[in-house]
Structure 1
């Protein structure tokens, strides 16, 4: 997936990345971290009653040139453009969110990147306890520390990969996936669901998140949560305070 208005140098400036451009795991890690710490995950358009555009040029204009973020299709879509421009080989994969009490459809998108006969799971758009760097599929069963957070990749009884995060001392399933590649157009129905369905979490409440070197800042509904190491600070945000919080914490305007 590419866009006519995508310029790699502009993307790199947007994420403040000045490292190597060689298609290596070190570059992949650096690019992913830089994007996560520069571009917020956000659903402001959905909360404004809009259907999120899947048009590649719209994604580029919104995130690179208008200073916005986006949810999984947008931020991971932009990430694919960057990886293609840098010469990486990868597949788009549908993922099933697994933190709900019932089994849900594959409404998330991740990337599996191929480097020197190894495959790496990447995701810049999960919005909560998401990865902070790539995880290799060959690391199945290992406990992996990324900054102050802990992850593991497992397999379930359906032979799906399952990403788990250690949350308050307990392992919590985040999403499951197989290795069947999908095309960009295949995510259009899931995007419509996430933009419009009353059961979709993005329709129900604000979800805005950005990682930083020590943790992450998350606006979930009316709660602003700041995670730093093992510390969690929660404050209530009133409707009158919302615009100030969006700008101060995420550099976003509605």
Structure 2
């Protein structure tokens, strides 16, 4: 596998670690990758504020680094997974970008989601820091299919949907729910430009229709979806409706975000 995202000239591993609050070992092994992934998930929100402000999300690597690392924003899948890919590249971890098809819709959708597949310690691992409400919480082994994997208070499983196609599922309210499917064909960074434009502009795209902000925590996650704020902790959910004029206060207080102009 070869790195297929251009390393931003403003990317600094030290500054990235400072942004996510990581102070652990720096090794090219699964323990280090797991710790880094979990720190990013707990400090960098999944969010679509730029799309809601009428902007097309930039896939210029330097602009992703500037936005997330130095302006302390979040982003959606191409941004947060792209930043994680830069960190993996700096660590010397072999990876590939993979296009995934969301399976959370009632109708068939194109492959608009991005994930990473890593090779470490003789095994292949799925890493994804950008699938919002029910995303995985640590690397998931691609070499084990049909096994229930417990990550904190969530349960996941990878099954074979078709020949060479993996399907990620998770338990939601006691029921297995499909998340996305993918094969392991390598993609280049440029391959995601059309999908990014669709997600930023198409009237049917969820990111155009709705405000979505998700932040993982040690016990679960916090979610702001339009005017509903939800806290999931230890498998239990509490939610409340918020007024339109309260959203900016919730964004700042719960996620450290300010709505762009």
Shorter-chain TM band: over 0.9
Contact 2:30 2:121 in 1 (8 A): no
Moved over 4 A (4+): none
Looking at structure 2, the residues matched to 27 and 140 of structure 1 have their Cα atoms a distance apart, in angstroms, of 24
The total of aligned residue pairs comes to 254
1:195 and 2:200 matched: yes
Query: Greater CA deviation, 223-232 or 202-211?
Result: 223-232
1:38 and 2:43 matched: yes
Match of 1:246 among 229, 248, 251: 251
Match of 2:123 among 106, 114, 118: 118
Looking at structure 1, the residues matched to 226 and 207 of structure 2 have their Cα atoms a distance apart, in angstroms, of 10
Aligned pairs for 1:217-228 (under 5 A) are 217-228=222-233
Looking at structure 2, the residues matched to 79 and 56 of structure 1 have their Cα atoms a distance apart, in angstroms, of 11
Q: CA RMSD in A?
A: 0.8
Looking at structure 2, the residues matched to 163 and 129 of structure 1 have their Cα atoms a distance apart, in angstroms, of 11
Unmatched 5+ stretches in structure 2 = none
Other structure's SS at 1:166 match:
strand
1:13 and 2:43 matched: no
1:91 and 2:101 matched: no
Looking at structure 1, the residues matched to 165 and 17 of structure 2 have their Cα atoms a distance apart, in angstroms, of 34
Looking at structure 1, the residues matched to 143 and 72 of structure 2 have their Cα atoms a distance apart, in angstroms, of 36
Q: Name the TM-score, length of structure 2 as normaliser.
A: 0.96
1:29 and 2:47 matched: no
Q: Name the TM-score, length of structure 1 as normaliser.
A: 0.99
Looking at structure 2, the residues matched to 106 and 119 of structure 1 have their Cα atoms a distance apart, in angstroms, of 21
Unmatched 5+ stretches in structure 1 = none
Post-superposition offset of 1:158: 5.0
Residue 57 (structure 1) aligns with: 62
